[in-house]
Amino acid sequence: MKKTGIVRHQVYLEHRTGIMHPENPQRLQAIYDMLDQRDFGDAFVPIEPRYATLDEILWVHDSRYVDRVLDSAEKARVQFDPDTVSSPKTYQAALMAVGGVLEAIKRTVIAEVNNAFALIRPPGHHALRDQAMGFCIFNNEAIGAHYARKVHGLKRILIIDWDVHHGNGIQDAFYDDRSVLYFSVHRDQFFPWTGAANEVGVGRGKGYTVNVPLARGGSDTDYGNIFRHLLAPVAEQFEPELIIVSAGFDTHYDDPIGLMKVTPEGFARMTTLVLELAASLCEGRLVLALEGGYNPQGLRDSVEMVLRELIGQSRIDKDQMQHREDTHYEKIAETIDWIKDIHRRSWKF
């Protein structure tokens, strides 16, 4: 029986941003402690990460920017932008974060594991071609999509981003590219101030960027309904060969940044819906990469619930959650109809 792959490594804890920085090693340590303390049986397969190669990084990033990251090696501190700093081992962690995602994709595509979760840092979805941004150094998921195409020959990759922040770096990487469908649900009028509903792609990529901005306070039922009534019909028409999730947990109700209302059960529900899409569309090929989440306890509990779904040890009542979504559909119906109207020329609803 194939199992769930897990990417973890101590080097990710060596990216030291400072104890008061939201994206600090303690958030990942909380997840690693949970993995060691909970009983998951023998459901996990360790995936050893590797350093991404320079050629792989250059699929997405400008060489001068990459040189700047490498030049930070062993320096006490480099300030890449107001939110993004380095420590002496940051360049190693960043290269290994990309490599961890690539190894997770490899093991999933060649069917050594059913699915995989790369528990990595620094995160990646804000990183632009020529600059770090929003705690992100290299764009882990964007490089992963290129890897799936260039190395494994896949033609269609779906990236789902449920972080509270819009993944502007992923969007920019594929804005004119119809081989990668980027679907983002994020808080409206919030950092990085991108991800408006009318940002739909350009040229051949028009319609292959789907942004769903939400007001503050988005809940489990909101996300469940968006996944069922927007994501599912688009994904079914796109027919991805691999699904990558930019898995941020800063929509958790106790997160100090996000100010949304998603519970650990809500993250499990989103995972279930994505697992169903992966099973029906791409032979179950699903890779999650850790992004945000700045309340260590909330992050730990939510990641555990996601992992339980991935390994078939669900702790949620799916029928009850779907009933709640149906009951509260009117709360999000206007947003769903708005996004459908924007994309009717590209997708059938």
- CATH code at 202? 3.40.800.20
Q: Decide: 193 and 279 in contact? Cβ < 8 Å.
A: no
User: What range does the domain containing 18 cover?
Assistant: 4-343
Kindly report the average pLDDT of the chain as a whole number: 98
Instruction: Spell out a b/e string for 204-238, using b for 16 or more CB atoms within 10 Å of the CB, else e.
Output: ebebbbbbbbbeeebbbbbbbbbbbbbbbebbeeb
pLDDT digits 0-9 by tens, 201-212: 999 999 999 999
The mean pLDDT of 247-276, rounded to a whole number, is 98
Query: What does each C-alpha distance from 197 to 22, 160, 168, 184, 248 come to in angstroms?
Result: 28, 15, 13, 10, 20
pLDDT digits 0-9 by tens, 15-35: 999 989 999 999 999 999 999
The mean pLDDT of 289-299, rounded to a whole number, is 98
Torsion, CA 4, CA 261, CA 164, CA 193, rounded to 10 = 170
Query: What does each C-alpha distance from 7 to 48, 103, 104, 177 come to in angstroms?
Result: 6, 8, 7, 29
CA 30 – CA 139 distance, rounded (Å):
23
Q: Is residue 349 part of a domain?
A: no
* 46 or 1: which leads in pLDDT: 46
State the catalytic residue, choosing from 61, 126, 165, 186: 126
Q: Can you give the pLDDT at residue 2?
A: 74
Q: Is the pLDDT of residue 260 over 90?
A: yes
pTM: 0.98
pLDDT digits 0-9 by tens, 109-140: 999 999 999 999 999 999 999 999 999 999 99
Q: Is residue 348 part of a domain?
A: no
Q: Is the pLDDT of residue 233 over 90?
A: yes
Q: Can you give the pLDDT at residue 106?
A: 98
Structural domain count of the chain: 1
DSSP bridge pairs for 210: 183
Question: Is 126 tagged catalytic?
Answer: yes
Structure tokens at 308: 């339980």
Q: Is residue 61 part of a domain?
A: yes
